[in-house]
Amino acid sequence: MKTLFLMKEPLLAEGLLALLSKKVDELLLDVISSIHESELIKLVTEKNIQLVVIDTVSIGIPSCQLIQQLKEQPHSPRIILIYDCLSRGVLSAYRSGMSGCFFRGDSLETISLAFQTVIRGEVYVPHVIIINLICEGHLFTDISDLVKLLSAKELTVLDQLCKGHRMKDIALRLSMAPSTLSTHKLRISQKLNLLTDLDFNSFLKAYEKWKIQYASPIKKPLY
């Protein structure tokens, strides 16, 4: 299996190489510490790379768009990403076509299972994600950071949406045109990477729970 590791830490690469060599009969390994997205796609295509393993902590280039581009190649590779912690980006990566992931600090057994599952052609989802989705119905572990991305106006809109009011009623309450309200909602979705209505509604529930559990929403000056 032709495998490409994108990571800056030699020890991490060596450890994964030793683990992966026990899982496949043939292994062609390239370890690269820095590469542009376009160069990565070209390399994967020209060398017919079958598995791409990217350390998002040290490299930081993976994005939903990049994953989609890799999956659109004639011989699309399987993609495993290494994360530092659970975040919304992980779920978005799965929706874009990621084959599996694991987190720094995971046990050798967990990492081995991730590779084994992906090599078989299946999708590997860590148990922490499954449990979070089953128990909470959402995957928002970083709400305090997410709300900091929003303006005071957007937070006000978000608070009104949490109350379940209709868009028309919210527009009247906030003395703004319905089109302006829709624009605020769209910007909230874009800033928080909420790709669907289901994502948005799930975030509303998680945000309301966060407000009750921790504090009132973070307030910013209007000007």
CATH of the domain at 204: 1.10.10.10
Q: What is the pLDDT of residue 222?
A: 43
Residue stretches of the chain with pLDDT short of 50: 216-223
pLDDT given at position 166: 87
Which pLDDT value is given to residue 221? 45
Asked if 115 and 161 sit in the same domain, the reply is no
Domains held by the chain: number = 2
Q: Does 161 lie in the same domain as 89?
A: no
* Among candidate residues 75, 107, 136, the one where a domain is terminated: 136
The encoded tokens of residue 73 equal 């190649």
Query: Quick one: 33 exposed, middle or buried, by C-beta within 10 A (0-12, 13-18, 19+)?
Result: middle
Judge if 122 and 193 occupy the same domain.
no
CA distance 100 to 51: 11
Last residue of one domain, picked from the residues 90, 118, 136: 136
75, 108, 94, 84: which is closest to 195 by C-alpha? Answer: 94
- Nearest one of 84, 69, 93 to 7, comparing CA atoms: 84
Q: Is residue 220 part of a domain?
A: no
Residue 122 sits in the same domain as residue 184: no
Clarify whether residues 152 and 125 are in a common domain.
no
What pLDDT shows up at residue 223? Answer: 38
Instruction: State residue 44 phi and psi, 5-degree precision.
Output: -60, -40
Query: What is this structure's pTM?
Result: 0.60
d(CA 135, CA 55): 28
Distance between CA atoms of residues 35 and 151, nearest Å: 34
DSSP codes of every residue in 118-145: HHTTPPB--HHHHHHHHHHSS--S-HHH
**What are the pLDDT digits (tens) for 65-109?**
888 888 888 888 999 999 988 777 787 888 888 999 999 888 888
Range of the domain at 150: 143-213
